[in-house]
Homo-oligomer: A and B are copies of this chain.
Amino acid sequence: MTNQSKVGIYKNVAEPFHVDFTGRLTMGVLGNHILNSAGFHATERGFGIATLNESNYTWVLSRLAIDLDDMPHQYEEFAIETWVENVYRLFTDRNFAILNKEGKPIGYARSVWAMIDLNTRKPADLLILHGGSITDYICDKPCPIEKPSRIKVNSKDCIETIKARYSDIDVNGHFNSIRYIEHILDLFPMELYKEKRIKRFEMAYVAESYYGDDVSFFMDEVNPNEYHIEVKKNGEETVCRSKIIFQ
């Protein structure tokens, strides 16, 4: 198999209700397109969620890091390329390139996924499942951005608490991975988005939260351009962490 056939490419357009006040696609919507691309790519190759659910396994997103030089503008076409970089026993690394309307990369993303057994909630061995066929798709296309980092938040001062509502909950009954991104973006004032854009955005998904949970946000301002955020449910357990670098 050539590298070319291992890489999926999926076209999109920046829809009017998916851009922010600057007219650029929001990070939440880009995250949605990135995760959709992962799903399409896996499904086309026989290891997508729909197939897996039938055999009682599902993919769980563990890490996502997006690094951008630009963001598509309203009505602009863009595309997302995705490929598998590595497969380990319990994790797989999947990378992405975001291409502008001319097909030039304007950013990249890295993600880390595990597969779990829906009955036991335990991770599955990726090298055994489906005869390890996922390893046939490993591809050495370069992804010139840093790997997801370890995020540590020291602040004990909750800056915001929301209650998980109907619109926050996905088909699995969990707080939707994309909605965390939107709520995190909403911690920052409009003025910041007027002056700066997001250069890098990282998410580390740690645990699930559910309908009715109190979801609280804690933030360290590492410097005027870098923020580390921790999200906890019901005042205790960490559900995810995020790092945002503006420029």
Q: Which residues of A contact B (CB under 8 A)?
A: 15-23, 26, 28, 32, 35-36, 39, 49-50, 74-75, 165-167, 169-173, 176-178, 182, 185-186, 188-190, 193, 211-212
Given known pairs A166-B186, A186-B166, the reply for A171 and B35 (CB within 8 Å) is: no
Copies in the complex: 2
Taking a contact as CB atoms closer than 8 A, the residue among B17, B28, B49 that contacts A178 in the complex is B17
Distance (Å) between the CB of A214 and the closest chain B CB? 15
A216 to B188, CA, bound (A): 21
Instruction: Determine the distance from Cα of A57 to Cα of B34 in the docked complex, in whole angstroms.
Output: 34
In the assembled complex, the CB of A190 is this many whole angstroms from the nearest CB of chain B, namely 5
Q: In the complex, which residues of chain B have a beta carbon less than 8 angstroms from the beta carbon of A15?
A: 32, 36
User: Contact partner of A16 among B20, B22, B170, B193, CB < 8 A?
Assistant: B170
Interface contact B169-A49, CB-CB below 8 Å: no
A-B contact sample (10 more), CB < 8 A, given A17-B32, A21-B172: A15-B36, A16-B36, A17-B36, A17-B178, A21-B166, A21-B169, A21-B170, A166-B188, A166-B190, A190-B212
